[in-house]
Structure 1
C-alpha cells in the first residue's frame, strides 16, 4: 500500500492523480456533483422507460458532461461565477443531456438497446460523451422524445376464442364459483335447479353463453352478474371476471383457453 503514496514524476500517486487539486476545484466539483445527482433524482422515471434507464444508470456520465460542457476550463478561475454559470443551469440541462444520451444509445446500438450495459463500458461512455458534447457545441437540435414502448394490446378473451373457433358451437360449459363467499352465496340456489350452472357455447363475439336455465344468450360476466342477483347475494361484487367461471368439460376455463393461445404466440419461433 505504501507504493500508492510514492511521490515524484514516476510515483504511483503522481501518475494516478497528477497534481493535487486546489481547494476551490474540490469544492466546486462537490457542489456540481451534488446538484447533478439531485437533478437526475428529481427527473426520476420521466415519461419514457428508456430515459428512465438512462437516469438510473448514467448519472455519473451526465455529471461528466455537465463539467465538460459548462465549466471544466474555468473550474480553477476564482473570478468565474460558478453558481450562475454552472450550478443554476444544471436543473434545465440534465433533462436535455438524458434525452441526448438516450437518443445516441438508441441510434447507435439498435432499437432495443441494453442501456445499463452501455454505461458499463468505458469505451462506449467515451463515444457517447464525444457525440453528445459535439452536438451541444455545434448547436444540434434536441432530439424528439422517443416514442413510448407499447406492447400490442391482446384481444379480449371472448373475441379471441370466437375468431379462432377454439370451441365448437354447442360445447357444454359449467359455472364454477371461484371463492368461498361466492360459493356460499349461490350454491343453494344453484342446487335447486342444475340447469342454473349449465350452459353451451355459441360462437358469438358478445353473447357466447347460452344459459340452459332460460335458453337466452349472455356475455360470460353478464350472466354471472345475473346469477348472483337472482341468487339473492346482497353483498355481491359490482364487477366480475366471467371468463374464469365458465369451464369446458376438459377442465379449462374460457380464460385458460385464451392464455394458451397467448402463450403459444409469445414463444419465439424455432429457427432450426
Structure 2
C-alpha cells in the first residue's frame, strides 16, 4: 500500500497514524491527512509524525490506494460528498467511525472495497484491540493489506458487521472504562493514606499483571479470581462490596448503553 489518506484528524486518526508510523508499516511522507477546517491541527500532526498535509487542490486523493475515514459520525455525509469526485475506482476505504454502516459508505462512495473497523486509542502505542468487517468487494489481497495495517497497531479480530456495535462498546470504548477504574482505585488508595505516586504505580502494575496472567495462562477469569480469593479474607471482603453494589450489573448496563449508542449513531448518519 503506497499512499494512505486520512479524512479527519481527531484523536482516533492520530492514534492510528502514530501506530502505523511507529511500527514502520508505512513511510510518513506517504501518509496524507486532511480535515474540515483546523489547519493548526494538521500542522501539529505533520510536525510530530512527519506526515503530509492534503492541500486545497486535494491531489493526494487522486493517487490514494487507501482512504481512512476518521471524521465524526455527523460529518460523514459531507466528507463523502467532498471526496467522491476526486477518488479513483481503485481506492479502497477503511472506516474507523463509530456506528456508520458499510451500506452508508457504499451509498456515499460507490461500489469499491470497504472495511469498517473500530480500533481504540491504544493504537498509539501498538496495543489497540480492533474489530473489523469487510464488504464483498474486498478481495484476498486487499483483506491482507487491511489486516496488516490494523495489526500494525495491535490485535485484530474479523467479525460480522452487526457485531461491530458490541465491539465498539467493549474494546472501542473500553480504555475509558479501565481508566475510570484506575481513577477510582487511585482516589480510594489516596483516601486510605497512600501517596498518589505509590498508588498509581501499584495500580498500573496490578492491571498489567492481571492482563498478563489472563493472556499467558489462558485461564478463565472466574478461576483466576477464585485463586486470589481466600475464604473470609481481604479479597473476599472487597469482592463482596462490589457484589453489594451490583458491579456486574453496572458493567452489563455500560456495554448495553454503549452498544445502543453505536446503533443510534449509525442510524443518524
| TM-score, normalized by the shorter chain, greater than 0.5 | no
Q: Give the TM-score normalised by the residue count of structure 2.
A: 0.20
Q: Which has the higher contact order (CA 8 A, sep 6+)?
A: 2
Identify, as 1 or 2, the structure richer in strand: 2
Q: Give the TM-score normalised by the residue count of structure 1.
A: 0.20
